[in-house]
Chains A and B, each alone.
Chain A
Amino acid sequence: MALCILLVFSLSGMFALVRKKFVSGHPFPCRYEMVHAYQGIIDGNAVIISGIDGAYMGHFLADGKDAIWYPVSARVNLARQGKKLLFPVASENIPLIREYLDRKVPVYIDDLREFSYAEDFNKLREAFLFEHVRSVNSYSIYRLSEREVAAQ
């Protein structure tokens, strides 16, 4: 009796998993498609501000691209070792981003993790204009530009 109950219990779990597999399928690989979209956009020198970690981004942008990655927030994975920040955080270094824009270096940002890092994105949205460049599923890649220049 106990064995039958166990068997029914485990088989019910398995049927639930089979049903889930048919109904929901695999989630769309947003990160993977996002870095591929960046690969298509970037031609030479560029700055990428993203919530995607630098190791993943660096792996795909290493060949023939001269792109620099900055984390959008200090909470982005692998952005720091312990308490030590490895790279300047874009939302806390607005003048640095302005410097790149002054030098005509294209600066891109994606909204993949905007929900997680909303405060940091808001700081950047206040400082710069976001010009839509490409869509990836329900997310977007934007090119940053100065608000004052755009106003002129």
Chain B
Amino acid sequence: MSYSPAGRRGAALAGVALVILAVLYLWLVNVPPYYAANLRTLHDEVQYAIPAINLLAKGRLVMVMNGVEYPPVSPFGFHIILMPFYRIFGTMVGNGIRAVQASSLLALLLTFSIAFLSVGRKRALLATVLLAANPIFIYQSGKIMATTPRLAFFLAALLLLLLAWRSKRRGVLLFLSALLGFLSGFMLLLHLSSIVLIPIILILLIYVLVKKKTGIIIPVSIYILLVSATFLPLLLYQSSAYGSWSTTGYQTWIWSRPFGEDTLPVFSLSPTRYGVAFLDGLSKTGMDPRISRLTGRLLDLIGLGKLYNVSVFIARLSVRLYRVRGCILFMFPGGGR
């Protein structure tokens, strides 16, 4: 493939703009570990950071209270992501923020990649700016929580779907289906509400396979097999930690608790909403008709893309209306616990 000098200069400018944006974004989301060590977000940050440190130091995924060991609330996916960061930066609790910052940067780069593949570099930059300027995305990137890594995984799955759409070889398609299965399974390990994303990804995969006329059964079987294989360790873990393979940490710790002020984190965001926000933003940038159809169908499937913009508008009117925005966002599928 050959590029004209003007094209090369444009690509270089886009690269420089992306680097500047990434640096500006990292500065915006940078929370020093000393401040991140506060772990303020109710039980969430505590039950991610402390079991991850204990897993690294003692080999046990537990929180210790008065000498008694308790399993964490969430599945162990995010703890696994946190471990290498604690290994590299040290076991001070606040260092877990580095994992979140890295995954939010990854989400940004994945957004650029997806948009670059589908609508070109200028609009890709715009899509990246849209995500980078999302105040709630920045808010979530300053918390030791699994929300941002889940977004990165979801965007990675979307990128794989686009690559599958573009690939011409059956072997590559099978490999991408397997990778997609692993990513989807790991999203479940990050948070069980990711289960709403699995059928969406599966439908999109089937859609790609139907359009490419490469056969559905084998790639879909590989996808389902990989999702199950990645998810199986969680069932075994639940069996040992909570007494039954079907009992989750949420059931054990939270669900039987009466609704009160401590259960307000329903207003937190999920990758589904980010995905909708991203796709909604992307669809406005004037897409390649082929990709537009694909994302359009996803938006139709979710059916609430426009609501996101309404909520952003409401929240911009006044900070006091943030809860109203939270209520609106809560209506998204999978948008709460």
Contacts and interface: CB of A to CB of B under 8 A. Distances in A.
B336 to A, nearest CB: 18
Interface stretch (A56-64, A92-100, A103-111, A143-151): A56-64
B47 A55 contact: yes
Interface residues of B, number: 50
Interface string A64-100: 0000110000010110111100110000000000000
A14 B25 CA distance: 9
Contact of B284 (A2, A17, A29, A83): A2
Interface stretch (A5-13, A38-46, A122-130): A5-13
A83 B253 CA distance: 9
Interface string B228-258: 0000000000000000000000011111111
Interface in B1-54: 24, 27-28, 31-32, 34-35, 37-40, 42-43, 46-47, 50, 53
Nearest to B45: A56
A77 B63 CA distance: 13
Contacts of A7: 126, 129
A54 B66 contact: yes
B126 A3 contact: yes
B59 interface: no
Interface in B107-133: 123, 126, 129-130, 132-133
A6 B126 contact: yes
Given A31-B40, A77-B46, A58 B64 contact: yes
B254 A13 contact: no
A31 B42 CA distance: 12
A114 interface: no
A32 B97 CA distance: 15
A69 B255 contact: no
Contact of A59 (B64, B126, B251, B286): B64
Nearest to B123: A3
A26 B35 contact: yes
B276 to A, nearest CB: 16
B261 A14 contact: no
Contact of A17 (B67, B135, B285): B135
A40 to B, nearest CB: 16
B43 A59 contact: no
A120 interface: no
Given A13-B133, A58-B63, A83-B258, 11 more contacts: A2-B284, A10-B126, A14-B28, A14-B133, A17-B28, A26-B31, A58-B64, A78-B43, A80-B257, A82-B256, A87-B65
Nearest first, the 8 closest Cβ-Cβ pairs linking A and B are A82-B256, A54-B65, A29-B38, A55-B63, A13-B133, A10-B133, A14-B133, A26-B35
